[in-house]
Amino acid sequence: MEYKCNICGLHYRSEELAKECYDWCSKHDSCKLEVAEKSIEAMEARKYRQLSP
């Protein structure tokens, strides 16, 4: 199950994180870094970087 922040479009594995992101995004113009780096997109990007030579 994935949860999505409807404002920035990032996906999270927990509803809490998605809500935290949504709350932040609705008040600010940018994403909160601590939350955004827990997104599935950020985790996938890290995984990809680790696999790259």
Question: Would you say 38 or 51 has its CB closer to Zn ion?
Answer: 38
The two three-digit tokens of residue 21, written as one number: 């992101």
Question: Would you say 12 or 51 has its CB closer to Zn ion?
Answer: 12
**Beta carbons within 10 angstroms of residue 35's beta carbon:** 22
* CB-count exposure of residue 50 (10 Å: 0-12, 13-18, 19+): exposed
Question: Would you say 6 or 48 has its CB closer to Zn ion?
Answer: 6
- Told to check if 17 binds Zn ion by CB under 5 A, we report no
Q: What is the DSSP letter of 29?
A: S
- Told to check if 42 binds Zn ion by CB under 5 A, we report no
Residues forming the site for Zn ion (CB under 5 A): 5, 7-8, 21, 25
